[in-house]
Each structure stands twice: as C-alpha cells, then as structure tokens.
C-alpha cells in the first residue's frame, strides 16, 4: 500500500510539473485554435531588448490584422477593443501605447482586414524572466493573445521608481500616492463597524438564540429592540452620515480641480498601404494527423510586374518558413518559428499569371502548441496569412480562410 501511495504521489507531482511548465511557457496555448487562427493575425512582433535592469525601458512593436474570417459566435473586434500587454503579475509599468500613432489610453475598435502598427513602451518593475505578449482585449470575448518573447529583468525591486507629473505640475510617487489616505479610511470604517458589532455583542443572547426568539414573537419581534438600541442606531447613523459628508467637503477643499475617469473611445486612422497585386483563393485545406502536416492548395493571382514566391505561412502565431525564399533565425528555443518547415510546390508566380500552388507546413509545433484540437471543432474553419516576396525583397500579405478536412491516416 505504501508503494502504491508513493507511486500516486510521484505521478501527480509529475503531472503538476508538466502542466505548470506548459502554462508557464506559453499563455497562448490555452486558447482554442479557432480563436488563434481566426481572430487576430500577429506579425513582426519584436522587443527592443531581451535583457534590461529595473527602471530601464523596453519597447514592444509589431503589426496585427483582424481576420476577415472572424468566428460568428465570438464578439467582434469591430465593437470595443483595447491594446494591452500580457505578463505574469505587475512585472512592468506601461508608460505609453499606440496604434498607428494614436495613443491607446482609451478603448477603440479595429476593422477586419485592416493592417495596424502597434508599439508599447514598458518600464521594468521587478527582477525575473518574463514571457511578454501583446494582447488585444475584446469586449465580450476576452484577451486575444499574441506571440510571446522572453525578457529578463535584473536589478533590485526596491530601486524601482515610478514618478509622474500631474497636470498642475506636481510630482507624485505612483507607488505610494494616496496609500496613507486609503489606510486611514479603511481603519476608520473598520473601527466604526467593529464598534457597532461590539454593541450588539452586549445584547446577549445573540445570533441563534435571538433569531429563535424573533421567530417565536413573530409580528411582535420589534419589541426586542429597546429604546436604548434605537438611540444607539441613531448615533451610529448620524456618525456615518457626518463622516461621509465631512470627507466629501474635505476632499473638495483639498482637491478643488479634479478630472473624472475617462470612458470615451478613440478612433484609429487606417494605415496607408500600397496596392496589393497578389490575391489568393483557397481550394482545399487538409491536416494530416499522423504526419502533423498541414496541406494547402490555393490559387494565386499576381497582377504585379514582378514574379512572387511564398516565403512564409503564419497560422495562430505559428510561423512556417520557406528557407529557399528567406532565412529566419528563431530568437530562442521558445520562439514559434519553424525555419525550414514550409514546402511549396508550384514555384514562383509570374507577373500577370494565375496558377495553383500547393503548400505543406510540416512540424511538431502543430501538436506541441495544441493546435491539433482544431479537428474536434464543430466549426471546422481555418484561417492564416501567406507572405509573398519579390526578388528585390518586397513583401505582400494575403489572408486565406475556409473549411479544413482532417486526414487520419
């Protein structure tokens, strides 16, 4: 029996370690493949540095495009959305965030199929190693998590400074500002509540016996309240109203100029883009489970003046690279990049040509990143981005989407 118990404990410990390590590494794994593939396409996400000290700054930049194939059962990003950063705990302070140059201190909405540039400035607050993700919070849907990048913060948390200058020119410490006031009022109201409770504790018996007595008296239960009880209730009511009114007048005198919390929306202008000469049409999408292989057959139309080749395929923040067209080196072992996992049959698409091209994205990331559960979805629709390149390095983006057929052998 002891051996069985020891084996069970070891098994549970192993399962816990596996689950915690998986969750710790990638927050985006927890989202369903349909959300990752058909909501927001993240591109070119990068950080200005992967190692900094407390009080130093790091910039998170990149692009994103809301999908044209947004799930119908999920609240749209064209409603209300907010750009944010996902990190474990209060590890950084966000100093500034912008989309297409517009400050993101308020909520906004984003149009499907539009391309947006974003940048977020962070200040390191606590030492540690953190997986930093861009996030778009969508009302009614929740956070749409982008690809994460490991950032290491060194130094001492006690050295952190977070000062801000108010509109009246006063410099305040955001870490401690107003804390004494909060502490004072918390203790005061606790003391008032405790005094009210202590008074009724003197009215023995209390709680259960008193409840039974009130049930026995029925409509005459009010007789249990004595004139002294009513006087004390009036005293506490007067004290409470006096504290509320007095604190309001004191705050008005202490802070005559106030600004209410802002709940308005801001409009983000569209990003100017060059005309895209490349368009695609999905013919067939298949995922072969035994080989962890995603097969796409598409029809590509090139209306430009130069031939184009497919250099990259992105789906759910997974990047599959055609090494014959471009070279990409993963940032680290956690970077979701397969540098030589995209095979293209059909070759470059010449200027003015329309032809069929077949792509194979083969890599274990489909399984390790929990994307294979897309085969169990009642809405078996997939979406992704294809990146076309000319010989001179010009890049064109094209989104595809449509039904996916699983292959079990």
Beta bridge partner(s), residue 387: 312, 397
Q: Are residues 306 and 329 in the same domain?
A: yes
Q: Is residue 17 part of a domain?
A: no
Q: Are residues 299 and 204 in the same domain?
A: no
Outline where 27-109 has alpha helix (H): 33-38
**What's the rounded Cα separation, in Å, for the pair 289 and 308?**
30
Q: Are residues 220 and 289 in the same domain?
A: no
Q: Are residues 46 and 129 in the same domain?
A: yes
* pLDDT, position 217: 79
**What's the rounded Cα separation, in Å, for the pair 55 and 299?**
51
Q: Is residue 172 part of a domain?
A: no
Q: Is residue 38 part of a domain?
A: yes
* pLDDT, position 247: 94
* pLDDT, position 168: 86
Q: Is residue 68 part of a domain?
A: yes
- Candidates 126, 111, 139, 140; CA nearest to 40 is 111
CATH number at residue 97: 2.60.120.570
CATH number at residue 352: 2.60.40.1580
Q: Is residue 238 part of a domain?
A: yes
Q: Are residues 327 and 215 in the same domain?
A: no
Q: Are residues 229 and 294 in the same domain?
A: no
pTM: 0.82
**What distance lies between CA 188 and its chain's CA centroid?**
38
Q: Is residue 119 part of a domain?
A: yes
Q: Are residues 163 and 183 in the same domain?
A: no
Provide φ and ψ at 137, rounded to 5°: -90, 125
Q: What is the DSSP letter of 79?
A: S
CA distances 381 to 39, 143, 287, 317, Å, are 12, 21, 12, 17
Q: Are residues 29 and 144 in the same domain?
A: yes
Q: Is residue 45 part of a domain?
A: yes
Sequence-ordered list of residues with C-beta below 8 angstroms from that of 287, at least 6 positions apart, any chain: 293, 294, 295, 366, 372, 374, 375, 404, 405, 406, 407
Q: Quick one: tokens of 320?
A: 């599959």
Q: Are residues 77 and 161 in the same domain?
A: yes
Name the domain count of the chain. Answer: 3
Q: Are residues 163 and 188 in the same domain?
A: no
Q: Is residue 342 part of a domain?
A: yes
- Average pLDDT by stretches of 10, the chain with 409 residues: 52 46 52 88 95 97 95 92 92 95 93 96 96 94 92 95 90 93 96 92 72 79 83 95 95 88 87 91 91 92 95 94 93 89 93 95 90 81 94 94 88
Q: Are residues 291 and 248 in the same domain?
A: no
Q: Are residues 92 and 207 in the same domain?
A: no
- Enclosing domain of residue 132: 25-167
């Amino acid at each position: 029996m002891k051996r069985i118990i020891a084996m069970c404990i070891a098994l549970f410990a192993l399962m816990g370690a596996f689950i915690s390590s998986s969750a710790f590494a990638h927050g985006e794994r927890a989202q369903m493949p349909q959300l990752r593939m058909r909501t927001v396409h993240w591109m070119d996400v990068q950080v200005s540095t992967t190692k900094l000290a407390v009080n130093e700054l790091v910039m998170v930049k990149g692009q994103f495009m809301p999908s044209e194939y947004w799930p119908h059962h999920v609240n749209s990003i064209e409603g209300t959305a907010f750009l944010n950063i996902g990190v474990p705990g209060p590890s950084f302070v966000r100093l500034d965030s912008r989309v297409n140059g517009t400050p993101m201190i308020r909520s906004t909405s984003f149009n499907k199929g539009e391309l947006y540039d974003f940048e977020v400035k962070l200040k390191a607050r606590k030492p540690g190693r953190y997986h930093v993700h861009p996030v778009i919070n969508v009302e009614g849907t929740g956070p749409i998590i982008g690809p994460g990048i490991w950032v290491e913060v060194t130094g001492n948390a006690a050295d952190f400074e977070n000062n801000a200058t108010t509109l009246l020119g006063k410099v305040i410490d955001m870490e401690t500002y107003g804390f004494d006031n909060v502490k004072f009022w918390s203790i005061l109201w606790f003391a008032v509540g405790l005094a009210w409770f202590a008074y009724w504790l003197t009215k023995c018996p209390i709680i259960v016996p008193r409840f039974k007595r009130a049930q026995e008296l029925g409509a005459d239960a009010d007789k249990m309240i004595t004139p002294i009880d009513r006087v004390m209730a009036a005293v506490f009511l007067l004290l409470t109203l006096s504290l509320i009114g007095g604190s309001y007048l004191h705050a008005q005198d202490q802070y005559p100029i106030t600004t209410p919390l802002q709940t308005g929306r801001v409009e983000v202008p569209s990003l100017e883009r060059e005309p895209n000469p490349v368009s695609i049409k999905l013919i067939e999408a298949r995922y072969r489970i035994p080989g962890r292989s995603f097969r796409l057959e598409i029809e590509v139309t090139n209306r430009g003046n130069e031939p184009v080749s497919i250099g990259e395929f992105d789906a759910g923040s997974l990047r599959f690279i055609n090494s014959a067209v471009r070279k990409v080196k993963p940032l680290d072992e956690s970077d979701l990049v397969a540098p030589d996992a995209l095979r293209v049959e059909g070759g470059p698409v010449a200027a003015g040509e329309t032809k069929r091209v077949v792509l194979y994205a083969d890599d274990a990331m489909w399984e390790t990143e929990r994307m294979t559960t897309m085969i169990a979805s009642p809405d078996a629709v997939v979406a992704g981005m294809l990146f076309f390149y000319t010989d001179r390095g010009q890049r064109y983006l094209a989104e595809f989407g449509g039904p996916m057929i699983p292959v079990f052998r």
